[in-house]
Amino acid sequence: MRIITGATGAVLDVAARQIADRMATPLGQPILVENKPGAGGLAMMDAVARAVPDGHTLGLVSFVELTVNPWLFERISYDPVRDFAPVTVLYTGPQLLVAHPSMPAQSLADLIRHVKAEPGRYMYGSSGVARPPHIFMEKFKLATGLQIPHVPYRGGPPLMQAVIGGEVPLAMEGTSVTVPLVQAGRLKALAVTGDKRLAALPDVPTFTEAGVPGIGLAWVALIAPAATPPAAVARLQYEVAQLLKSPEIRNAYEPAGRTPVGNTPQELGQWISRDLAEWRTVVRDAGIKPE
């Protein structure tokens, strides 16, 4: 059995390896993680879509590949609904809006006031075009009408160095990268996406608490090729849902503020349909283009 995912060492690869060995025993077979990096996630999605639908191939992907890429690229080789069988969501995860300590804003409301007073003066960085931090920040900008130019970097570490070094005053990024720097006092946090505060930063409000609801969460899911037998999909969903209840997985997810899910294939299908509609609007209205 194999799990197809993105680049070695990236977030999706780590998530795949966290579950692969632990699923091997209940499924009674070894599980290989197969990396298909490149083309903004199109390569791995194409590999899953073209795989034999025999229950022995899974894709571990994010909401971006399933619900953003269809609106981002003029041509893609897969249909996010027709070409895949939903299995389950592994986890949801928040993004954190951080600033250089010298940034005058002390809260999200402060930031909105400063930016509206001087449109275009403040820039923000992200870890890459059309990655979760970028599209969540663009969603925030659309919700508030703010003019904050985007500066993309090649990954989280270069982005954090840019903010710490004063190249850009603001950044949206995942919690695994940002939280340690906030705790060390090298950055300050203004708000976190989602409906609950981070256990690691209990004093940092959510966007909703700060007056900007609906920014939402990133999510990572397992899918299979279309026409995979429903019984095989149900077995895979069950084993993953049981695994997500284990203290070992919960302890691995908790430091980054990730919440295990393990929902049904039908529920994942609803998430895909909901997010396809939502991100179509954001990509169009924000004018997001691939690199």
Report domain extents, the chain.
2-92+218-286, 95-192
Write the CB contacts of 40 (distance below 8 Å, at least 6 apart in sequence): 69, 72, 73, 130, 290, 291
Assess whether pLDDT exceeds 90 at residue 39.
Answer: no
User: Which residues have a Cβ under 8 Å from the Cβ of 226 and sit 6 or more positions away?
Assistant: 49, 53, 82, 83, 84, 85
Report which secondary-structure segment, H or E, holds 27: helix 11-27
Question: Which among 36-40, 149-153, 252-256 has the top mean pLDDT?
Answer: 149-153
* Spatial CA neighbour of 13 closest among 35, 42, 43: 35
Cβ atoms 62, 219 nearer than 8 A = yes
pLDDT at 38 over 90: no
Q: Write down the pTM of the prediction.
A: 0.95
- Residue 291: what pLDDT? 78
CA pair distance 289, 74, nearest whole angstrom: 10
Q: Once rounded to an integer, what is the mean pLDDT over residues 257-276?
A: 98
Cβ distance 192 to 198 under 8 Å?
Answer: yes
For residues 7 and 12, give the distance between their C-alpha atoms in angstroms, rounded to a whole number. 8
Of 256, 240, 276, the residue nearest 194 (C-alpha): 256
* Predicted local confidence at residue 19, as pLDDT: 97
Over residues 140-174, the pLDDT tens digits come to 999 999 999 999 999 999 999 999 999 999 999 99
Whole-number pLDDT of residue 76: 93
Please say whether the structural domain 95-192 has been given the CATH code 3.40.50.300. Answer: no
Q: What is the structure's pLDDT at 40?
A: 86
- Assigned fold of 2-92+218-286: D-Maltodextrin-Binding Protein; domain 2 (3.40.190)
Confidence of residue 266 (pLDDT cuts 50, 70, 90): very high
Measure the CA–CA gap between 120 and 136, rounded to whole angstroms: 19
Res. 228 pLDDT band, cuts 50 70 90: very high
